[in-house]
Amino acid sequence: MRFIRLGSSIRLLVVLTIGVAVAPLPLRGFTLELQHRDLKTGAIIRQLENVEPKHVAIVVVDMWNWHWCKTSTERVAALVPRMNQALAQARALGMTIFLCPTDVADNYVGTPMVERVLAVDPISMPQGPDLVCPAAPDGGGCTCGRERCQVNYGWDGMHPDLVIGPDDLMPNDPERLYTLCQQRGITHIIFCGVHTQVCLLGKSIGLRAMTRAGFQCALARDLTDAHGRYEPGVETPDDFTAKVVAHFEQHLTATVDFAYTLRRNGRWDDTWLVDYVRHAPWGTRRRPHLFEQELIVTLTNPCQPDGEIRYTLDHSEPTATSLRYTEPLKLAADTTVRSAAFKNGKRVTLVSESFAARLGAVPPAPDIFLGELKPWRAVGMGHSPSLNDHRFSPGVQPPQVDQSNEGHPLKLRGQTYAHGIGVHAPNQLMYELNPEWDHFVARAGVDEHVLAVSHGSNRAMHPSVVFRVFIDGGLAAESPLMRISFEPWRFDVAIPPGSRRISLAATDGGDGHYLDLANWVDAGFTKKRKATDHRP
């Protein structure tokens, strides 16, 4: 029992090896089933402890509204319904809830959960021996597979669906967390949130620091997700998380299945729909996953492992008779995947949805760059008393040739481009077409100069742009919704004979125009070739 601290309110009940059923015991208080692993063999060991709920605190770490990895972001969101139910029951039992979005806690100043914490005078915090153990596996933080996401610090709060209780507290330093726990007689701290082996373990309010301070700490293994990895056909993000959890159990601390713990204490209803089938990669319409080659999508359901996964590819809601998932899906075109798990014909999960869009071939270089041409019309965010009278909004520049709208080099997904037009969406560029031109070609994306300062802290989540190409009023091509550090969308649009004008529109993504700096790069027109010529 190397990591169990016995106190006056705690009794060690029984140690159980793997495979032995654990029956609820008629004890007063709240029974925890703690699981760890033998240090040498890795064999699972379970033990029961009884503790008064008022002596238990739940620390929720970094359940942010954004992550640089789109799949990781959706996996955090998938934890929220289960976490909301678990925290609601914990509150009802009298447990203390600490919400700790460490990087962005100060964005909640002026709320009772922060102000009550800052009113506390911290007391000295003991520093016991450090947890010395092998480093936990780390997949680098992107769980998308081949097309990896690039780092940005866009999060600016907790997930909007995470319920905040009126008595919850939000400490952002270990001394005040320690003081509040001492004041409330806390002996046990259950940690949940993300990412398991990075923030949840190592942040100042994390499991390592609180264990050293003398608390009995445990990890809620059903309410966490690792800094993950996805290798199709080899390892899913859930496999990787399970590996990290096993490392914790063998070298760091005990874990609990918190929903199971609540169930054995009569506080969990199995009819609640609190889980999602998880997709990898997991793009959405609001943040698509872009791919070039065949995409392999894996569906998993770790919290309902005996549920049968059903899915659809036609936007319809999955039913018990939809396609049955038996192996990873192979996608070759833009696809929406919807999924759910069923038992005995009844749906037992919420409905999940993912979206992936396939990039076209890299377009050829233009013969004539847009920067060499004078637009027939160029308007953007501002006021237009008439068709040819336009005033741009303060801080918004007219379209800029060969630089971003803010005057920086044109930069998309880490690459700088010499030629292009930088605009601020919403924006329209119209050109009169020359009969000698046969294609409009370009790449298009969100300018990423915002990442130059603190990786875009609190800001990188906001830019969102859709690019559209119209020829004589008809939609000829459009991108999905583009985000920061996406691979640029590729346009190679044939111009029908006799066409008069082309309109290049950069529109906001439906959520306002904050930081919607859009770049058309390597953009322009190719000329018609003779029969003996070939397009590169």
259 CB-side CA count, 13 A? 19
Q: Which CATH architecture has domain 53-254?
A: 3-Layer(aba) Sandwich (3.40)
Beta bridge partners of 309: 341
Q: Are 143 and 196 in contact (CB under 8 A)?
A: no
Is a pLDDT exceeding 70 seen at residue 20? no
Cβ-based burial of 175 (10 A; exposed 0-12, middle 13-18, buried ≥19):
middle
Q: What's the confidence (pLDDT) of residue 11?
A: 27
By percentage, how much of the chain surpasses pLDDT 90?
89
AA letter at 325: Y
- pLDDT digit string (tens) for 453-483? 999 999 999 999 999 999 999 999 999 999 9
**Which pairing describes strands 44-51 and 474-478: parallel, antiparallel, or unpaired?**
unpaired
- pLDDT digit string (tens) for 201-235? 999 999 999 999 999 999 999 999 999 999 999 99
- pLDDT digit string (tens) for 237-278? 999 999 999 999 999 999 999 999 999 999 999 999 999 999
The arithmetic mean of pLDDT across residues 5-20, rounded, is: 29
Is a pLDDT exceeding 80 seen at residue 484? yes
Q: Which token pair is 382?
A: 């501002």
Is a pLDDT exceeding 80 seen at residue 329? yes
Q: What's the confidence (pLDDT) of residue 387?
A: 72
Domain 368-527 has CATH 1.10.101.10: no
User: What's the pLDDT band for 529 if we cut at 50, 70, 90?
Assistant: confident
Is a pLDDT exceeding 50 seen at residue 395? yes
Is a pLDDT exceeding 70 seen at residue 69? yes
Long-range contacts of range 387-392, CB-CB < 8 Å, 24 or more positions apart?
none
Q: Are 310 and 320 in contact (CB under 8 A)?
A: yes
The arithmetic mean of pLDDT across residues 64-82, rounded, is: 97
Query: Three-state SS string across 172-213, please?
Result: CCHHHHHHHHHHCCCCEEEEEEECHHHHHHHCCCCHHHHHHC
Calpha distance 299→282 (Å, rounded): 10
Q: Are 4 and 216 in contact (CB under 8 A)?
A: yes
Calpha distance 59→180 (Å, rounded): 12
Beta bridge partners of 501: 432
The arithmetic mean of pLDDT across residues 33-56, rounded, is: 96
The arithmetic mean of pLDDT across residues 95-101, rounded, is: 97
In 426-500, beta strands by DSSP E: 427-432, 437-446, 465-471, 474-478, 489-494
Q: What's the confidence (pLDDT) of residue 16?
A: 32
Is a pLDDT exceeding 60 seen at residue 4? no
Domain 278-358 has CATH 3.10.20: no
Q: Are 334 and 320 in contact (CB under 8 A)?
A: no
User: What's the pLDDT band for 533 if we cut at 50, 70, 90?
Assistant: low
User: What's the pLDDT band for 141 if we cut at 50, 70, 90?
Assistant: confident
142 CB-side CA count, 13 A? 13
Is a pLDDT exceeding 50 seen at residue 15? no
Q: What's the confidence (pLDDT) of residue 29?
A: 79
Is a pLDDT exceeding 70 seen at residue 24? no
Q: What's the confidence (pLDDT) of residue 9?
A: 30
What are the extents of the domains in the chain? 53-254, 278-358, 368-527
User: What's the pLDDT band for 385 if we cut at 50, 70, 90?
Assistant: confident
Is a pLDDT exceeding 60 seen at residue 26? no
Q: Are 95 and 54 in contact (CB under 8 A)?
A: yes
Q: Please name the residue that has the structure tokens 């004539």.
A: 368
Q: Which token pair is 366?
A: 């233009």
**φ/ψ (deg, to 5) at 351:** -90, 125
- Helix, coil or strand: residue 238: helix
Q: What's the confidence (pLDDT) of residue 59?
A: 98
By percentage, how much of the chain surpasses pLDDT 70?
93
